[in-house]
Amino acid sequence: MAKKDNKSRKTVPPPLKPASKQPVSPAHRSTSSKKPTPSPQQHTSSKKPTPPPQQQATSEKPTPPPQKQATSEKPTPPPQKQATSEKPTPPPQKQATSEKPTLSNQRPSAPPKPSHASGFWSAYGDRGLFSWRIGAVLLTSISQPLLSAPFNWWPWHWVAWLPFLWAVHQQGGKGRWFLGYLGGTASNFMIFYWVIQAQVEFGKIKYPVAVGLNWLLCSSLSFIWIFLAWGIPWLSQRYPRVWIYLVPAFLASMEYLLPQLFPYMQGVSHYQVTTIYQISSLIGIYGLTFLVLWCNCLIYDKFRRWQQERPIFGYDIALFVMILLSVLAYGRFRQFTYDQKVKTARRLKVAMLQSSLLPGDHYDRRKVDQLYKKMSTQAALLGADWIVWSEGEYKQLVSDVLIDANGDILQTKLSAGLSDIRALSRKLDRPILVGTYGRLHQGKESNWTNAAIHVLPNGDVGQRYDKILLVPFGEYIPFERWIAPIMKRITHWRSRYAFGRKQVVQPLQGIPYSFLICYEAIYPTFVRESVRKGSRLLVNITYDAWFGRTTAPYQHMMLAASRSAELGVPLVRLATTGVSTTVDALGRMNKLSPLYQRQVVLQEIPLVYMPSLYLWIGDIFVWLCIATVLVALLRGLRRPATEQPTA
């Protein structure tokens, strides 16, 4: 600065010695006497030379320059040039160095500090704010297992997603993806924690290994949350007026498209709210998912408008209220229709034999047979019309079936193992439905199947049903060529069944029914195909002892009961160790049996069929959601974002 100042002084010609012909200016007198410097207007009006540049530069500031510096300076240029210059003449080097600590107005301002730390946290914004957002996401995650069975905090679901919505709207960059991953993994881990116990107790896998495997499973299921964390702010920034409809459609689309080992749709939390749950008979369980998340998005949007002092009430609230009232009205109408039909409906007394046998109890086949014969006799004395044994409880081969390449049955050969169950049915004069085992032959291959069959008192045997949807790693090993060597090192468990080929709908005492083995009952599309083939009663047999005293049996029961509300057909649900019950055509459950308690669960079920729109149109609603989201994504690529996250 000093060098530049000296150079500028040499280029300016000095004045023609006005000081020798004129007395000392008042400015110099005031400087020497340490009086305040006159204002620039006074110098201009008197047409006298201006004071030194330090005085001119600091004339607007309260701190005057040092006296020695002012007297030692050369005369300044004419006041006209000084007045027209936009910037004051910088002070000499000594002035800058000596007064730099005190003249804060001449010191360049320090650059603003970044709002977040460098390194790892640079991609996640302010550390404190990011911690708050993590807490908000975890609040939504913790609420997920509490919304449904066995806790049933379903009212909380209408606001449960608000913390997540706030967090991902405020967060930007990689932190948004991390919040989605954290929320999805934590939520799935709390819902499916029972997988660890099943691996440790029955797979004999070491506990740390089981935890790691469950973490991998839950991480793979977190993609819905990850995409949701990205999609919510992306859609709201490009479609600020309709994002509250696009986000629920986005979630419903992902629930339908992304593969899930244990499909746990958001809408299933209302399985005990009969009036609201009837919407699933129109547009499936995905429609209730849409409705619940729509409410969360609407509330959050109104909260943001309130913060921005914008109008809150509008057509969107009126539309939501109108749809919700329509759903409630439809649910009441459907209940009224059911009440009229049930007055003249046939009733069936079903005895479900909940033996409460653990896996280790099945090694003695004779003891198992004796127990079931005793419980069957007790059921007949109680007046049961049908007697149902659970999955795999009849420990004998019932038949050999030869099929062709298309899965069509070419030949069926009944086994001698059927003689015992035939004799029991004849003795009790009751039909018996049993879970058992079969063999499937195709060409030179021969494999065992997880099967079910019914036997009549006259000795006739129904068509055998072989389970189609097998449990991965429990009944078969996916990608066996690569995974089987790893499985051999961590567990001794081996279970390989052949896949069934076709669903079977057959009449029993004039009632067309179909078997659903284990978790086949939790897949909406699969069960819908069975009802479309004419089934008017679903019989779900399952062995849930693997899960222990956890929430899994209740979750399994809840998902199975949802099929009755969707399709309008009753359900018989027997689990070896509980929970066992019957479900009417509206999805309402009868009394639940307790876990691990041996008993004959005798319940009467009305055989009422309630036609549903979902049975015929299927998943058209969710396909409309998929199409809408795809159009929004494609158009959004060319639309600018209206707002940005706060980081």
Three-class HEC string of 325-355:
HHHHHHHHHHHHHHHHHHCCCCEEEEEEEEC
Which residues neighbour 461 within 8 Å (Cβ) at sequence distance 6 or greater?
Answer: 398, 399, 414, 418, 422, 453, 454, 455
Q: Pairing relation of β-strands 432-442 and 537-542?
A: unpaired
Taking domain 347-486+497-607, whether its CATH number is 3.60.110.10 is answered by yes
Tens digits of per-residue pLDDT, 220-268?
A: 889 999 999 999 999 999 999 999 999 999 999 999 998 777 888 999 9
Q: For the residues 615-632, what does the mean pLDDT come to?
A: 96
CA 618 to chain centre: 23
Q: What is the DSSP letter of 429?
A: T
Ranges assigned E (strand) in 503-639:
505-508, 511-517, 537-542, 571-575, 581-583, 599-606
Give the pLDDT score at 121: 53
Each as own residue / partner, the long-range contacts of residues 617-622 (CB below 8 Å, 24 or more positions apart, any chain) are: 618/284, 618/525, 618/528, 619/256, 619/284, 619/286, 619/524, 619/525, 620/283, 621/252, 621/282, 621/283, 621/284, 621/286, 621/287, 621/290, 622/252, 622/253, 622/255, 622/256, 622/283, 622/284, 622/286
Q: pLDDT higher for 419 or 474?
A: 419
Does the pLDDT value for residue 484 go beyond 80? Answer: no
> Radius of gyration over alpha carbons of the chain, in Å?
40
Instruction: List the beta bridge partners of residue 397.
Output: 437
Give the pLDDT score at 408: 79
Give the pLDDT score at 101: 45
Sign of the CA dihedral running 573, 579, 580, 585:
negative
Q: For the residues 602-607, what does the mean pLDDT come to?
A: 97
Mean pLDDT of the chain: 83
Cα 606-608-611 angle, rounded to 5 deg: 160
What is this structure's pTM? 0.78
Does the pLDDT value for residue 476 go beyond 60? Answer: yes
Does the pLDDT value for residue 116 go beyond 80? Answer: no
Tens digits of per-residue pLDDT, 527-558?
A: 999 999 999 999 999 999 988 899 999 999 99
Q: pLDDT higher for 413 or 102?
A: 413
End-to-end CA distance of the chain: 40
Where does the pLDDT of residue 76 fall: very low under 50, low under 70, confident under 90, or very high at 90 and above? Answer: low
Q: Where are the domains of the chain?
A: 126-339+622-636, 347-486+497-607
Q: What percent of the chain has pLDDT over 70?
A: 77
Q: For the residues 127-140, what does the mean pLDDT come to?
A: 92
Does the pLDDT value for residue 51 go beyond 70? Answer: no
Does the pLDDT value for residue 33 go beyond 50? Answer: no
Give the pLDDT score at 29: 45
Q: pLDDT higher for 303 or 20?
A: 303
Q: Is there a contact between 263 and 123 (Cβ–Cβ < 8 Å)?
A: no
Does the pLDDT value for residue 404 go beyond 90? Answer: no
